[in-house]
Amino acid sequence: MSKYFFTSESVAEGHPDKVCDLVADTVLDAYLEQDPGTRAGCEVLYKGDLMVVAGEFTSTAHVPVEELARQVVAEVGYVPGKAKHNSETVRIQTLITEQSREIRAATDRAADAPSQRGASDQGIMFGMACDDTPELMPLPIMLAHTIGKAIVAARKSGEVEWLRPDGKTAVTVQYEDEKPVAVTNVVVAAQHAPEITHAEVTDWVTRRILPGALGAWLTDATAVHVNPLGTFTLGGPEIDCGMTGRKIVVDTYGGSGRIGGGALSGKDPSKLDRTGTYFCRWVAKQLVAQGIAHKVELQIAYGFGLAKPLSVRVDTFGTGDAAEAGAWVERFDFRPGAMAEVLDLAQPIYRSATNYGHFGKPDLPWERLPDA
């Protein structure tokens, strides 16, 4: 019997990196809502009272970038009275140009298939699925996300006035013969108001949050660590510098599956870092749902301007029929334009994917299993 432990972490939507991701995706959605053909690569930096929204946009849309950015900061919870640097005091600088005409030409006219859109960059993308959970996601990352979502729901509902936006969670799962059998450790970092004690935070998390978030996975043997440093009153952009795309392990599989080199947020569907990653997840999920394997990972690779991928690889890790998995994958069209069309990705849907994982959410197109 093989036995090992695996830990995944999630971060709250008030983490500065995720604030940046949400601004980027909110701005992207606003562009796509007016112009589905928008080409965008949006990057955000946020520190103290300064936010910089930078990148490339080629679009017929007219979007109030600064207004949207302030709305996001307020929505997350950095508002007057609860944060030194907030939606009213933040200075927002925009550094936006058009996308490179050379890249635009390459993506519109592929070298090896002129009628098909080519890759806007070279790169590798991965997607995976496993039968740990009903969502066909690894258990550690799903539990870490669930705890984080429960905490933010309590803060935004007004149930707890002393919670603040920043925070992290981590869950360690024990596996035996590749199956999760126990949750051994839980770590919760929850930002709070200065007048609240460590004991109050610990009691609230262990009594109010963990039983509902973990269910039967929470046992007497589970070690729980809440704000291990004692207090967590300073957080967010006051302390840390946030940047788009620095939480791609949190965004994907919590380390259980490999990732490519590119971030997801702020990119339109012509960017394969986003579309290729989503499509690989969609295909891998189908393989597991069909019972072909218990765990599947796909890799695709592209070169500049080429519609046809350089390679497509599927790995079942010995958990299923590798030949059948390979034959199944051959059914799919991995050309950039085809992937975006199949998943209908030219929609303003991306801010709903930003926080608590881009995968495992049933309403997103790459998570919906086809009827056949």
The answer to whether residue 280 scores a pLDDT higher than 50 is: yes
pLDDT of residue 323: 95
Q: How confident is the model at residue 317 (pLDDT cuts 50, 70, 90)?
A: very high
For residues 145-151, average pLDDT: 98
pLDDT, tens only, 154-176: 999 999 999 999 999 999 999 99
pLDDT of residue 114: 42
Q: Which one, of 218, 233, 241, 131, lies nearest residue 178 by Cα?
A: 131
- Residue whose structure tokens are 């972490």: 9
Residue 106: half-sphere exposure toward Cβ, Cα within 13 Å: 16
pLDDT, tens only, 45-75: 999 999 999 999 999 999 999 999 999 999 9
Instruction: Look up residue 33 and give its amino acid.
Output: E
The answer to whether residue 349 scores a pLDDT higher than 50 is: yes
pLDDT, tens only, 167-200: 999 999 999 999 999 999 999 999 999 999 999 9
pLDDT of residue 116: 64
pLDDT, tens only, 7-41: 999 999 999 999 999 999 999 999 999 999 999 99
For residues 130-134, average pLDDT: 97
What the chain holds in terms of domains, given with CATH numbers, is 3-11+138-236 (3.30.300.10), 16-99 (3.30.300.10), 123-133+245-367 (3.30.300.10)
The answer to whether residue 307 scores a pLDDT higher than 90 is: no
The answer to whether residue 227 scores a pLDDT higher than 80 is: yes
Tell me which of 116-120, 160-164, 178-182, 209-213 is least confident: 116-120
Instruction: Look up residue 76 and give its amino acid.
Output: V
Tell me which of 76-85, 94-103, 258-267, 278-287 is least confident: 94-103
pLDDT of residue 115: 44
The answer to whether residue 261 scores a pLDDT higher than 90 is: no
pLDDT of residue 191: 97
Instruction: Look up residue 178 and give its amino acid.
Output: E
Is the CB of residue 38 less than 8 Å from the CB of residue 55?
no
**Does the pTM of the predicted model rise above 0.85?**
yes
The answer to whether residue 286 scores a pLDDT higher than 70 is: yes
pLDDT of residue 111: 47
**C-alpha span between 151 and 246 (Å, rounded):** 22
The answer to whether residue 98 scores a pLDDT higher than 90 is: no
**C-alpha span between 127 and 153 (Å, rounded):** 29
**C-alpha span between 320 and 343 (Å, rounded):** 26
For residues 234-263, average pLDDT: 94
